[in-house]
Amino acid sequence: MATYGEVEPGNFFISVRSPEEGTAATIYDSDGEMIWQGPHKKTMDFKMQRLFDQDVITYWAGQTGVLGYGYGSVHILDTSYNEIYTVTLNDKFVTPDGMARDSYIDVHEHLITPDNTIIVSAINITQTDMGHGKDGHPDTWIIDCLFYEIDIKTNEILFTWSALDHRDYLPLKDSKNSKGKMGGSQQTPWDAYHMNSVEWANGGYVVSIRYWWSAFYINRNGTMRWQLSGGGPGEGTIENDAHFAWQHDIRIHNETEKSVVVTLFDNHARSLGIRSKAESNGMAIDVDLVKMKSTMFRRVNTAMADPVQSRTQGSFQLLSYNTTGHVFLGYGSMCKFKEYDGDGKVVQTGQFGSVGHAQSFRLLKYPWRAIPHWKPTVIVQQGSKFTTDLFVYMSWNGATEHDNWQIYSIPHVNSTIEDAKLLASTPRYGFETHVDLRSVEGHYIIVEARQGNNVLGTSDGVVVPQSGQGELR
């Protein structure tokens, strides 16, 4: 990690994708110190959202499979890390391997709406009549991309949209993905659409269809209101000179009846090749809904200085809890991120793994604050079997609010704090704080995590190792 200027406050939300299983959702602070690591599952799309006017964290967990899609559920945790809701999806789905799943939510989207519902993506493997000739054959196997709006409390499906049901504005001949177009089998279907984000809008939903290089505004009856295409003039219903391709993470802001701002992560460098030195961009496009024209008013990249080419995935986040104009880019298949100030200058960069091995579908930054429902942890080690020196290590997975530790000795494991003797006080630093002690009286040690003089959490008592006992875990 390198910092070149003033950054916005916040913590990094990363769910690392790698060839191995068990890539837990993890939060890091602005110095790269871990704050929280969740269950060791295959997780994606880890973020902070608002539900019933409260901050929550959410992540998808399940199994990934064909062409980057997956099947899983959405986990919603409160600021104490209690799982308050688990969202699942069951409908009539066909999978590539023919096997049933407990839940069919796809990895690409789960978004809590202002109505306290949730939008989730899904896929269905089906056959469709493509006709003869260049477009394929009558029984092409295809990945149909769908999204659902679901009631969070009950898992009741409130709305469903299917790409394949809307060939009037999504004709398959317009797909820019020719790979696998014949869709020869259920196991090897054609990925014609590749829907990778769905955004809530005042009058419906805004959908990113990667293989159309387009955003589609879908009305609540399923019809299309407008299309914004990155392929150049004439390809969408909105005239657009802001070229983008293979995009991810389309979001809308400041929506009115007359205009809207569209932001996205532009994976255009995929088309240009690694020798082009072109970088993936963050883009903000001002759309005039009266004149049906759009203008790109902000393109965020570092150009030739430090080009990063992301062929897949990626995120572009407005740090909207401030007015400085800072934005945050996660580079998807490249395990890097950058924060830019309002003038487009890089103020921080970071990397979270080796290129080609680690990646993150979205990498986001939020001002997360939490006090876990579990107790702090303390580990005591004997310094040497010939001395009474002790090494004390304190941590509290997920806690953001404590700034100091108090260390006490107690005579019995069930002793109260009134029976405790203060041994040391120390500021918190990093995920784990370490203190050396000498000649400790008492059989047990407890620690308190505090904010100033306010106690936020107290550990269980642990045995003080005696000379010759070694360490206690």
Residue by residue, what is the 3-state secondary structure of the chain?
CEECCCCCCCEEEEECECCCCCCCEEEECCCCCEEEECCCCCEEEEEEEEECCEEEEEEEEEEECHHHCEEEEEEEECCCCCEEEEECCCCCCCCCCCCCCCCCECCCCEEECCCCEEEEEEEEEEEECCCCHHHCCCCEEEEEEEEEEEECCCCCEEEEEEHHHHCCCCCHHHCCCCCCCCCCCCCCCECCCCEEEEEEECCEEEEEEHHHCEEEEEECCCCEEEEEECCCCCCCCCEECCCCCCCEEEEEECCCCCEEEEEEEECCHHHHCHHHCCCCEEEEEEEECCCCEEEEEEEECCCCCCCCCCCCCCEEEECCCCCCCCEEEECCCCCEEEEECCCCCEEEEEECCCCCCCECCCEEEECCCCCCCCCCEEEEEECCCCCCCEEEEEECCCCCCCCEEEEEEECCCCCCHHHCEEEEEEECCCCEEEEEECCCCCCEEEEEEEECCEEEEECCCEECCCCCCCCEC
CA 188 – CA 103 distance, rounded (Å): 21
| Best mean pLDDT range from 43-52, 177-186, 458-467 | 43-52
Closest by CA to 229, choosing from 207, 248, 212, 205, is 212
Q: How many residues does the chain have?
A: 473
Over residues 197-247, the pLDDT tens digits come to 999 999 999 999 999 999 999 999 999 999 999 986 656 788 887 889 999
Q: Specify the range with the lowest mean pLDDT, choosing from 4-18, 246-260, 376-390.
A: 376-390
So what's the pLDDT on residue 418? 80
So what's the pLDDT on residue 471? 39
Whether 137 shows a pLDDT value over 70: the answer reads: no
User: Is residue 408 within 8 Å of 394, Cβ to Cβ?
Assistant: no
CA 245 – CA 32 distance, rounded (Å): 32
Bridge partners of residue 458, in order along the sequence: 448
Whether 133 shows a pLDDT value over 90: the answer reads: no
Give the strand order in the sheet containing 346-351.
2-3, 346-351, 336-340, 327-330, 315-318
**Beta-strand pair 248-253/377-382:** unpaired
Closest by CA to 63, choosing from 73, 51, 53, is 73
Q: Specify the range with the lowest mean pLDDT, choosing from 178-192, 264-278, 313-327.
A: 264-278
User: Is residue 116 within 8 Å of 99, Cβ to Cβ?
Assistant: no
Q: Which tokens hold the place of 52?
A: 């019933």
Dihedral sign computed on CA atoms, order 74, 79, 83, 87: negative
CA 87 – CA 106 distance, rounded (Å): 12
Task: Give the pLDDT mean for 179-195.
Answer: 88
CA 295 – CA 311 distance, rounded (Å): 25
User: Is residue 123 within 8 Å of 109, Cβ to Cβ?
Assistant: no
Average pLDDT, the chain: 90
CA dihedral (191, 270, 365, 202) in degrees, to 10, reads -50
Q: Which tokens hold the place of 252?
A: 């809308």
Over residues 347-400, the pLDDT tens digits come to 999 999 888 789 999 999 999 999 999 999 999 998 765 556 889 999 999 999
Over residues 88-118, the pLDDT tens digits come to 999 999 999 999 999 999 999 999 999 999 9
> What is the set of domains in the chain, with CATH numbers?
2-366 (2.120.10.30), 377-463 (2.60.40.10)
Question: Tell me, what amino acid is at 220?
Answer: R
Whether 45 shows a pLDDT value over 90: the answer reads: yes
So what's the pLDDT on residue 415? 81
CA 188 – CA 252 distance, rounded (Å): 34
Bridge partners of residue 377, in order along the sequence: 395
So what's the pLDDT on residue 388? 63
Q: What percent of the chain has pLDDT over 70?
A: 91
Q: Which tokens hold the place of 446?
A: 């407890």
pLDDT band at 134 (very low <50, low <70, confident <90, very high): very low
Question: Side-chain half-sphere of 381: how many Cα atoms within 13 Å?
Answer: 8
Q: Which tokens hold the place of 159?
A: 């709305």
Q: What angle do CA 254, 54, 105 make, to 5 degrees?
A: 80
